[in-house]
């Protein structure tokens, strides 16, 4: 005769049952217990290593022996305000701001069309088209753009066939914008940044626009607002959180990038490439650690600003 084993349940007064009842009565305690292990891991591995890195910024680097000694000093952080280093910070910051603004301008029409005029298979096609560039290697895309923008490349061929060669030469002749070719100009570097980070801007804006209630647009039309007025006074203000959320990615990724500045554009360090050069080529780890503080501070300030715009609600 077959017997079925009945699972044993904890006794009513057992410690396990009392602990289970406690977690049931206090869901916040249960949630805290689930969060403690990953938070400890995050604090120990990520924040701990970051603090150790920043602490090394107070060490001393001997230019003669190329040795790092634990003699604490503020000289590395003071050196950030030297004209050459401060120019690097301003160059990186200005590029991050311009790329974020341009990405928002380019991404908004695409995101608006995806949110308001696509459904079903058409929307799926746009999602795939937007995310497909993200499947390719970042370095491969950067190298591909160096070939596209090089002298005699596809970009120059396209401009010549449109008869816009004089316009291109005029733009390349503008100080601070151009260069001898697109691949050695600030404009070319800007184009590569916008292309690579564009999906990170499109998707948050599209998600923000999809949450717009159609009743608001209908109410605006019923009150006699023209399409332009509806866009400027209803759609655009309500899409600001999505734009701010996308700009978090474009701004922070541009600040820390060191691949594109090495491959495209004129000579000149960005913050990311300066950290790489100081740590890798020179071995000046204290100075590299001091430069690491720059994007951390700038991103913290930027996050404080976009938080007021509701960016975190759109993520």
Burial class of 221 by CB neighbour count within 10 A (0 to 12, 13 to 18, 19+): middle
User: pLDDT at residue 178 above 90?
Assistant: no
pLDDT value at residue 196: 92
pLDDT value at residue 105: 94
Parts of the chain belonging to CATH 1.10.3720.10? 80-314
**The model's pTM:** 0.80
Give residues with Cβ within 8 angstroms of 311, minimum separation 6.
241, 244, 245, 247, 248
From CA 283, how far away is CA 277, in angstroms rounded?
8
pLDDT digit string, tens, across residues 70-123:
888 888 888 888 888 889 899 999 999 999 999 999 999 999 998 888 888 888
C-beta neighbour count of 212 within 10 angstroms: 15
The model's confidence at residue 184, banded by pLDDT at 50, 70 and 90, is confident
Domain 80-314 CATH (choose: 1.10.260.40, 1.10.3720.10, 3.40.50.150, 3.40.50.720): 1.10.3720.10
From CA 202, how far away is CA 197, in angstroms rounded?
9
The model's confidence at residue 6, banded by pLDDT at 50, 70 and 90, is low
From CA 165, how far away is CA 159, in angstroms rounded?
6
pLDDT value at residue 109: 92
pLDDT digit string, tens, across residues 119-164:
888 888 988 988 888 888 888 888 888 888 888 788 888 888 888 8
Nearest residue to 263 via CA among 152, 185, 146, 136? 146
* E strands, the chain, in order: 60-62, 67-69
Query: Average pLDDT, stretch 263-291?
Result: 83
From CA 268, how far away is CA 265, in angstroms rounded?
8
Token pair, residue 262, equals: 């090495």
Sign of the four-CA dihedral 134, 108, 164, 97: negative
Burial class of 231 by CB neighbour count within 10 A (0 to 12, 13 to 18, 19+): middle
């Amino acid at each position: 005769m077959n017997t079925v084993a009945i699972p044993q349940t904890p006794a009513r007064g057992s410690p396990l049952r009392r602990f289970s009842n406690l977690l049931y009565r206090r869901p916040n305690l249960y949630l805290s217990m689930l969060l403690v292990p990953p938070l400890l891991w995050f604090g120990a591995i990520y924040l701990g290593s970051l603090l150790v890195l920043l602490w090394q910024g107070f060490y001393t680097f001997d230019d003669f022996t190329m040795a790092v000694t634990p003699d604490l000093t503020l000289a590395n952080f003071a050196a950030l305000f030297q004209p050459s280093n401060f120019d690097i910070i301003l160059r990186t910051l200005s590029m991050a701001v311009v790329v974020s603004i341009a990405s928002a301008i380019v991404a908004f029409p695409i995101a608006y069309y995806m949110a308001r005029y696509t459904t079903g298979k058409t929307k799926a096609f746009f999602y795939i088209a937007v995310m497909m560039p993200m499947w390719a290697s970042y370095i491969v895309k950067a190298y591909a753009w160096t070939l596209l923008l090089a002298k005699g490349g596809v970009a120059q061929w396209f401009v010549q066939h449109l008869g816009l060669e004089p316009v291109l030469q005029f733009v390349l002749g503008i100080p601070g914008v151009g260069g001898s070719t697109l691949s050695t100009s600030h404009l070319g570097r800007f184009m590569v940044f916008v292309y690579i980070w564009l999906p990170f801007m499109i998707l948050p804006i599209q998600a923000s626009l999809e949450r717009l209630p159609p009743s608001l647009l209908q109410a605006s039309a019923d009150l006699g607002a023209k399409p332009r007025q509806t866009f400027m006074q209803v759609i655009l203000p309500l899409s600001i959180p999505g734009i701010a959320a996308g700009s978090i990615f474009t701004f922070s990724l541009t600040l820390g990038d060191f691949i594109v500045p090495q491959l495209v554009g004129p000579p000149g360090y960005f913050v990311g490439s300066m950290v790489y050069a100081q740590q890798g080529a020179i071995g000046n780890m204290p100075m590299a650690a001091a430069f690491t503080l720059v994007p951390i501070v700038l991103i913290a300030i930027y996050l404080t600003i976009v938080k007021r715009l509701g960016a975190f609600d759109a993520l």
